[in-house]
Amino acid sequence: MDRRHPSVAAALALAVSFSAVAQEPLKIGFSMSLTGPLGGNGRAALLAMQMWAEDVNTKGGLLGRPIRLVYYDDQTNPANVPGLYTKLLDIDKVDLIVSSYGTNVIAPAIPIAMQRKMAFMTLFGTNPNAKFKYDRYFQIMPNGPDPAVGLTKGFFEVAMTMDPKPKTVALVGADAEYPHAALEGARTNVKAAGLQVLYDKTYPMSTTDFTPIVRAIQATNPDLVFVASYPPDSAGIVRAANEVALKTRQFGGAMIGVQYATLKTQLGPLLNGVVAWEVYAPEPTIKFPGVEEFLARYQPLAAAQQLDPLGFFLPPYAYAMMQIVGEAVQRVGKIDQAKIAEDIHSHEFTTVVGNVRFAKNGEWAEGRPLYVQYRGIRGNGLEEWKKPGHEVVLWPARWKSGDLLHPYDQHRK
- Check binding of 383 to other proteins (CB under 8 A): no
- Check binding of 39 to other proteins (CB under 8 A): yes
**Residues 6 or more apart in contact with residue 147 via CB below 8 angstroms:** 125, 126, 127, 139, 141, 181, 185, 363, 367
Rg (the chain; Cα; Å): 23
Rounded distance between C-alpha atoms, residue 188 and residue 79, angstroms: 30
By beta-carbon proximity to other proteins, the closer residue of 57 and 207 is: 207
Do 169 and 222 meet the contact criterion of CB atoms below 8 Å apart?
yes
- Check binding of 188 to other proteins (CB under 8 A): no
β-pairing, 250-255 vs 224-229, is parallel
Query: How near is the Cβ of 99 to other proteins at its closest, in Å?
Result: 19
By beta-carbon proximity to other proteins, the closer residue of 50 and 262 is: 262
Give the range of 118-126, 233-241, 343-351, 358-366 binding other proteins by CB under 8 A. 233-241
- Check binding of 382 to other proteins (CB under 8 A): no
Rounded distance between C-alpha atoms, residue 56 and residue 10, angstroms: 28
- Check binding of 242 to other proteins (CB under 8 A): yes
What string marks each residue from 101 to 120 as x (binds other proteins by CB under 8 A) or -? --------------------
- Check binding of 21 to other proteins (CB under 8 A): no
Do 37 and 104 meet the contact criterion of CB atoms below 8 Å apart?
no
By beta-carbon proximity to other proteins, the closer residue of 34 and 181 is: 34
Residues 318-357 that bind other proteins (CB under 8 A): none
For the purposes of burial, counting CB atoms within 10 Å of the CB of 21, is it exposed (0-12), middle (13-18) or buried (19 or more)? Answer: exposed
State which of residues 40, 128, 273, 369 lies at the interface with other proteins (CB under 8 A).
40
Amino acid at 206: S
Query: How near is the Cβ of 257 to other proteins at its closest, in Å?
Result: 8
**Residues 6 or more apart in contact with residue 348 via CB below 8 angstroms:** 355, 356, 357
Q: Which candidate, 223, 278, 230, 270, places its Cα nearest to that of 251? A: 223
- Check binding of 213 to other proteins (CB under 8 A): yes
Residues 290-319 that bind other proteins (CB under 8 A): 305-308
Rounded distance between C-alpha atoms, residue 218 and residue 213, angstroms: 9
- Count other C-beta atoms under 10 Å from residue 142's C-beta: 23
- Check binding of 266 to other proteins (CB under 8 A): yes
By beta-carbon proximity to other proteins, the closer residue of 247 and 345 is: 247
State which of residues 115, 221, 380, 410 lies at the interface with other proteins (CB under 8 A).
380
Do 354 and 241 meet the contact criterion of CB atoms below 8 Å apart?
no
Is the preceding omega at residue 164 within 30 degrees of 0, hence cis? yes
Give the range of 13-21, 54-62, 196-204, 354-362 binding other proteins by CB under 8 A. 196-204
By beta-carbon proximity to other proteins, the closer residue of 9 and 219 is: 219
Q: What is the DSSP secondary structure assignment for residue 410, as one 8-state letter?
A: G
Q: Which residues bind other proteins (CB under 8 A)?
A: 34-37, 39-40, 42-43, 75, 175, 201-209, 211-213, 215-216, 219, 231-232, 235-236, 239-240, 242-245, 257, 260, 262-263, 266, 269-270, 305-308, 380
